[in-house]
């Protein structure tokens, strides 16, 4: 009998809302990841600490005091009845760190959630790339439009000059007669 795998469906919007920009990197916080994986935050941190060599600084880092306070202020102050996992600065995982978590946690749910998170990161990267391409195309169009604007201004300037010439006829000079002139008779 083949082993059945159940698909875990977490809406992409939920995953996207858990991605923060800290130190110029798109990251996810340990408590959010623990919730998605269905484990306690302390269990996730314990597994990471046991396998710390798998998490270099570009995969995972701990928020400094300023980042922690800034992030914590978004949720309100931690109190004794509900610590919200905010007593200590959380671990923050980059895309590669999230990928490494699936090997550390090693559960089927962790693998399924990880696959979904990786797809969300990929779609975000794709959207950013497409926006960059779109921005470059718009800039290219603007340059063409600027040149066209200059050309149109020049055409209008020529039209104005021509219309001024037409509106202001030259002063009439006495018309010369055409043909043979008879000499004037002397009196």
Mean pLDDT calculated for residue range 114-139: 78
3-state secondary structure of 56: coil
Mean pLDDT calculated for residue range 38-61: 89
pLDDT in tens, 148-179: 777 777 887 887 777 777 666 666 677 777 77
The answer on pLDDT for 83 being more than 50 is no
Task: Give the pTM.
Answer: 0.56
Planar angle of CA 28, 33, 37, nearest 5 degrees: 155
10-24, 44-58, 84-98 — most confident range: 44-58
User: Domain coordinates of the chain in residue numbers?
Assistant: 12-130
User: How far is the C-alpha of 160 from the C-alpha of 153, rounded, in Å?
Assistant: 10
Sign of the alpha-carbon dihedral angle for 47, 52, 56, 57: positive
What pLDDT does 76 receive? Answer: 55
Of the given ranges (42-46, 63-67, 151-155), which has the lowest mean pLDDT? 151-155
User: How far is the C-alpha of 60 from the C-alpha of 69, rounded, in Å?
Assistant: 19
What pLDDT does 88 receive? Answer: 73
User: How far is the C-alpha of 28 from the C-alpha of 92, rounded, in Å?
Assistant: 6
- Are 101 and 44 contacting, i.e. CB atoms less than 8 angstroms apart? yes
Mean pLDDT across the chain: 77
What pLDDT does 173 receive? Answer: 72
What pLDDT does 40 receive? Answer: 87
What pLDDT does 112 receive? Answer: 78
What pLDDT does 168 receive? Answer: 64
């Amino acid at each position: 009998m083949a082993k059945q795998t159940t698909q875990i469906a977490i809406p992409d919007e939920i995953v996207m809302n858990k991605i923060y920009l800290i130190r110029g990197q798109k990251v996810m916080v340990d408590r959010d990841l623990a919730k998605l994986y269905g484990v306690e935050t302390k269990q996730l941190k314990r597994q990471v600490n046991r396998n710390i060599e798998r998490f270099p600084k570009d995969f995972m880092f701990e928020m400094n005091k300023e980042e922690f306070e800034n992030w914590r202020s978004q949720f309100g102050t931690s109190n004794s009845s509900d610590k919200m996992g905010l007593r200590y600065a959380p671990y923050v995982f980059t895309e590669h760190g999230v990928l490494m978590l699936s090997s550390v946690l090693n559960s089927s749910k962790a693998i399924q959630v990880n696959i979904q998170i990786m797809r969300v990161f990929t779609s975000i990267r794709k959207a950013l790339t497409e926006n960059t391409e779109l921005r470059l195309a718009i800039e290219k169009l603007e340059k063409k439009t600027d040149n066209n604007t200059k050309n149109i201004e020049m055409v209008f300037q020529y039209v104005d000059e021509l219309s001024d010439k037409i509106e202001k006829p030259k002063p009439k000079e006495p018309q010369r007669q055409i043909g043979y002139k008879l000499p004037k008779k002397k009196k």
